[in-house]
Amino acid sequence: MTTSAEDEGTGEGFTAAVVGGSGFTGGELLRLLVGHPAFEVVQATSREYENKTVGYVHPNLRGLNLRFSSPEELESVDVLFAATPHGVSMQHIDSFRDAAGLVVDLSADFRLPEADAYDEWYDGHTATEHLADAEYALPELNRGNLPGAELIAAGGCNATATLLAMKPLVDAGVVTGDDRVVVDVKVGSSEGGASGGKASSHPERSGVVRPYAPTGHRHEAELEAYLDLPTAFTVHAVEMVRGASATCHAFPDGPVTKGDLWGAYREAYEDEPFVDLVAGGGGTYRYPEPKAVAGTNRAEVGFALDPGNERVVAFGAIDNMMKGSAGQAVHAANVALGLEETAGLDQLGLHPVGSP
């Protein structure tokens, strides 16, 4: 492979750094930025793998001529992507913003608009003065506020799958904040990040249907903040590495038809470059499935109507590493910088594919 970090630079391009480049979403950012026509990666940090090549950790990037460097010595770049665990970005946000005009953070540190919410759902916030500057990354929700933003917070993966599934119902008034929605999410093991642990060892994690967050999942906070929707949220770990799939059970107050639903979803996503509607139809793939979008920035969104139970079931399926984090981050950066929205994000899914 002859791809080289240096080759990518062009007069009109942007330089980029990835803090946390040895992690799962950091590696995904590198994959995307290396193939992006407008970005040149000049730094990827890792404390554990300092001085090792990026390909030592990420075998798909063996062709990349770049070594990990310390997060203590950040280069000046146009865009700094932070793919570090919760809490790290809020600690280093001043130096991140010193190093780059645009910071895109993948953690939860700047996702919620109110400092209070961090006290309720996380362990508080230590850099609240930056919260007002932060824009939620998901363009389908917040496209208008991204151009020119200086601090962007990529949404949570499970929240993203749910938001995309439910937003058309909320916007169309089919569901209101008074109705409780039950959200049952199934996720892959890459959500846990690269640091491992006993429960995520292969023998223990294989083949599970494991209720890993039966209640109290932190992404409820994002749904309240951005959809104004109280959700009863439960997350299961299932056998896949990449993927998050949200099944949302909503109970509209009045009667609703399939036509109403198609209207709501087409209205919401007709012009969206990364959302496909999959709702019924024929063949093997009739509803959203994460494996169909693995490796891509696409979201599959769909619904089914259950008249007997006066229920609408809404589905959202994404790749947690892409639309659920790194892809969403690059998409938002594209919008913020005035680039083509799909630049660097035109990967197609695979068929057939196993459990990606």
Partner 1 sequence: MTEAECVECGSAVTLHDDLEIGEIVDCGTCGAELEVVDVSPPVLERAPELEEDWGE
Ligand X SMILES: NC(=O)c1ccc[n+]([C@@H]2O[C@H](COP(=O)([O-])OP(=O)(O)OC[C@H]3O[C@@H](n4cnc5c(N)ncnc54)[C@H](OP(=O)(O)O)[C@@H]3O)[C@@H](O)[C@H]2O)c1
Q: What part of residues 205-234 is at the interface with its own copies (CB under 8 A)? A: 205-211, 214-216, 230-232, 234
125 HSE (CA, 13 A, CB side):
22
Q: How far is CA 95 from CA 19, 61, 105, in A?
A: 12, 28, 13
Quote the tokens at residue 236: 């299961």
Site for partner 1 in 43-62 (CB under 8 A): 51-53, 55-56, 62
| Among 235, 258, 74, CA closest to 162 | 235
Does the footprint of ligand X cover residue 26 (CB under 6 A)? yes
Q: How many CB atoms lie within 10 A of CB 297?
A: 24
- Judged by CB under 8 A, the residue of 22, 69, 84, 245 near partner 1 is 69
Does the footprint of its own copies cover residue 354 (CB under 8 A)? yes
* Min CB(122)–its own copies separation in Å: 15
Answer for the pair 290, 302: CB distance below 8 angstroms, yes or no: no
**Residues 6 or more apart from 226 whose CB is under 8 A from it?**
136, 138, 141, 159, 163
Site for ligand X in 185-204 (CB under 6 A): 190-191, 193-195
Which position's Cβ is nearest ligand X?
A: 23
Does the footprint of its own copies cover residue 61 (CB under 8 A)? yes
Does the footprint of its own copies cover residue 189 (CB under 8 A)? yes
Cross-strand partners of 29: none
Site for partner 1 in 170-229 (CB under 8 A): 191-193, 195, 197-200, 212-213, 218
Of 38, 157, 165, 181, catalytic: 157
What region, left, alpha or beta, does residue 69 occupy, with left being phi > 0 and alpha being psi -120 to 50 degrees? beta
Quote the tokens at residue 99: 């190093």
Site for ligand X in 79-108 (CB under 6 A): 83-86, 88, 106-107
User: Near its own copies by CB under 8 A, which window of 36-44, 61-69, 99-107, 110-118?
Assistant: 61-69
Site for partner 1 in 260-319 (CB under 8 A): 262-263, 266, 277-283, 286
Residue 157 falls in the annotated catalytic set: yes
**Residues 6 or more apart from 284 whose CB is under 8 A from it?**
none
- Give 242-268 as a 3 state SS string: CCEEEEEEECCCCCCCHHHHHHHHHHH
Q: Enumerate binding residues for partner 1 (CB under 8 A).
A: 51-53, 55-56, 62, 65, 67, 69, 191-193, 195, 197-200, 212-213, 218, 237, 258-259, 262-263, 266, 277-283, 286
Q: Enumerate binding residues for ligand X (CB under 6 A).
A: 19-26, 46-49, 71, 83-86, 88, 106-107, 156-157, 190-191, 193-195, 320-321, 324-325
| Residues annotated as catalytic (active site), given as ranges | 157
